[in-house]
A and B are shown apart, each in its own frame.
Chain A
């Protein structure tokens, strides 16, 4: 399998973040934080049972 020329690729023009990428990052983080808060609340009200 031929190897990509990493050095040339990294020197290529930077691809700007597209709106869809920004949406993906934003929604992922937002949803992740909300879900984590919910899970922490569940964890608080239903603690680990031994």
Chain B
């Protein structure tokens, strides 16, 4: 043991995570509920800002609804910023955050992140098809789609983290990628439901295949990585459990949950988590482009692969979004226009299925550790399953079920109006994605990898991820999803 002799780790990290989960549910439902009001004819969120691909910057921004056109692009941007600032500031108060620091930090985070998004929509970066290039009068483009803005936001965050560490530290209060992505996932329930309603058979088939992800992550990945860490690299049990969980299951949440379950010292899962975030960034920068190059003819394989290979909810779901854009762009260039939403829905389904079992896996490990390895009075309790359950998933399921019912079980008028309402909510989903990408970048201090001893941890991660996780994930995604394409856009 080192200078940290603490044996119990759960209280602080676990409590904060649970609060953040519920906060994400509340904010996600607020956005979803407000968007649903538009079904009645009253548009509460039409002022939200959207960004189009542009060559003339003055035309980049506009309000979502024509009824709010009088606001103009700048007005819509300010209104969106102000609304998010008020809601999120009120929200983080419940997490015990310093609201003044948060407000100041969020203002800068929103400004830089959205500027990155706008930059990513510049036609030379975003235009995909020859028709689009012609429309904008340009001879070439990077063809990253307008979601290339996610990559710009991530790179901007990385620059700040690695070259402006004091500025990154100042922003810290507003750098909350887990909160942002959880809100986005709750909102995403509406889009996934609207997408699924059009093809219920395909959607239910995807759900069945989500089970394969659970088996793979918990039973195969975890066991192999734990063995590699213990046997090949000589790590202790205390390090190996969070490390195996972080690499195989769901990054930060799993490392913290299972670290707490085996009563590891608090710093151990936290250090592992920082490693997970750094590797997730590397994956987000590489895998979507590999998927576009090699899997564009198998879009659902690509979606599932991203969900299985990229750890942390934020990076995985955001990576699914980029992959969808890139593959749809490539397919469009070949004359195939897929219905949007299916690749991202596949990534999200896979990720959510994996997340659901974190609490159960943590309990199983906690039971084994407290009864057979570190025997003591502090035994694992079944109630920990619920304590560690990622509550934001309940928000996603609720939004999904309500939206699906509105789409297929209500009146034709409501079903017809629902996609527009879901689209309005989706504006905020995209904004929370942007904030997530930027925040992940700001948290990714690559210098940590050079810290004394950290290289060996990174080596386990590297060997496991690139030698095993990515390829087994690809094989299983291929076995379950190959040959099946998203529906074509009508």
Interface residues of B (CB under 8 A from A): 2-4, 199, 201-202, 204-206, 208-209, 211-212, 215-216, 218-220, 222-224, 226-227, 230-231, 234-237, 239, 265-268, 270-271, 368, 372-373, 451-454, 456-457, 476, 479-481, 484, 487
Known: A2-B267, A8-B2, A49-B202. A36 touches B212 (CB 8 A): yes
* Contact pattern, A 20-48, Cβ under 8 Å of B = 1, otherwise 0: 11001110110111011001101100111
Selected from B3, B205, B479, the residue in CB contact (under 8 A) with A4 is: B3
Known contacts A8-B2, A48-B481, A50-B201: does B453 contact A42 (CB below 8 Å)?
A: no
Cβ of A36 and Cβ of B3 under 8 Å apart?
A: no
A: which residues have CB within 8 A of B?
Answer: 1-10, 12, 14-15, 17-18, 20-21, 24-26, 28-29, 31-33, 35-36, 39-40, 42-43, 46-50
Bound complex: CA of A35 vs CA of B196, how far in Å? 27
A18 and B227 alpha carbons, distance in the complex (Å): 12
Alpha-carbon gap, A42 to B209, bound state (A): 10
Shortest distance between the CB of B146 and any CB in chain A (Å):
28
Q: How far is the CA of A31 from the CA of B226 in the complex (A)?
A: 16
Query: What separation, in Å, do the CA atoms of A17 and B233 have in the docked complex?
Result: 12
Enumerate chain A residues within 8 angstroms of B368, measured Cβ to Cβ: 20, 24
Given contacts A15-B236, A43-B480, A49-B205, contact A28 B211 (CB under 8 A): no
B202 near A6: Cβ-Cβ < 8 Å:
no
5 A-B pairs with the lowest CB-CB distances in the bound complex, closest first: A6-B453, A32-B219, A49-B201, A28-B223, A48-B205
| A residues less than 8 Å from B236 (CB atoms) | 9, 12, 15
Q: A28-B219, A32-B219, A49-B202 are in contact. Are A3 and B271 (CB under 8 A)?
A: yes
Contacts of A49 in B (CB 8 A): 201-202, 204-205
- On chain A, the residues within 8 Å of B205 by CB distance are 46-49
Inter-subunit contact A2/B234 (CB<8 Å): no
Q: What are 8 A-B contacts with C-beta separation under 8 Å? A: A4-B265, A5-B453, A10-B456, A12-B236, A26-B223, A28-B223, A36-B216, A49-B201
List, in ascending order, chain A residues with CB within 8 A of B199's CB.
Answer: 50
- Determine if B202 and A39 form an interchain contact, defined as CB atoms under 8 angstroms apart: no
Q: How far is the CA of A42 from the CA of B457 in the complex (A)?
A: 38
Q: Which residues of B contact A12 (CB under 8 A)?
A: 236
B230 near A4: Cβ-Cβ < 8 Å: no
Q: Are A48 and B215 in contact (CB under 8 A)?
A: no
> Across the two chains, which residue of chain B brings its CB closest to A28?
B223
In the complex, what residue of chain A is closest to B205 when comparing beta carbons? Answer: A48
Q: Which residue of A lies closest to B268 (CB)?
A: A4
Q: How far in angstroms is the closest Cβ of chain B from A19?
A: 9
B2–A32 contact, CB under 8 A? no
Contact A29–B202 (Cβ < 8 Å): no
Whether the pair A39, B215 counts as a contact (CB closer than 8 A) is yes
Residue in B215, B224, B234, B239 whose Cβ sees the most chain A Cβ within 10 Å: B215
Give A3 to B206 CA distance when docked, in angstroms.
43
- Minimum CB–CB distance from A34 to chain B (whole Å) comes to 9
A25-B240 Cα distance, complex, nearest whole Å: 13
A6 contacts B451, C-beta separation under 8 Å: yes
Q: Besides A12-B236, A47-B205, 20 other CB < 8 A contacts?
A: A4-B2, A6-B454, A14-B234, A15-B237, A25-B227, A28-B220, A29-B223, A31-B219, A32-B215, A32-B220, A35-B219, A36-B476, A39-B211, A39-B212, A43-B208, A48-B202, A48-B205, A48-B206, A49-B202, A49-B204
Given A4-B4, A4-B265, A48-B202, are A33 and B220 neighbors across the interface (CB < 8 Å)? yes
A4 (CB) vs chain B CBs: closest residue: B2
- The reply to whether B487 and A6 form a contact with Cβ atoms under 8 Å apart is no
Kindly provide the distance from the CB of B7 to the nearest chain A CB, expressed in whole angstroms. Answer: 13
* Contact present for A50 and B484 (CB under 8 Å): yes
Query: Once the chains are docked, how many angstroms separate the CA of A18 from the CA of B263?
Result: 18
Complex: how many Å from CA A32 to CA B224?
A: 11
Chain B residues whose C-beta falls within 8 Å of the C-beta of A8 in the assembled complex: 2
Q: Are A28 and B222 in contact (CB under 8 A)?
A: yes
B208 surroundings in chain A (CB, below 8 A): 42-43, 46
Known: A21-B230, A29-B224. A1 touches B270 (CB 8 A): yes
> When the two chains form their complex, are residues A5 and B220 in contact, meaning their CB atoms are under 8 A apart?
no
- A10 surroundings in chain B (CB, below 8 A): 234-235, 453, 456
The interface residues of chain B lying within 8 Å CB-to-CB of A6 are: 271, 451-454, 456-457
> Which chain A residue lies CB-closest to B5?
A2
Query: What is the minimal beta-carbon distance from A7 to any residue of chain B, in angstroms?
Result: 4
The reply to whether A50 and B215 form a contact with Cβ atoms under 8 Å apart is no
Given contacts A1-B266, A29-B219, A48-B205, contact A21 B457 (CB under 8 A): no
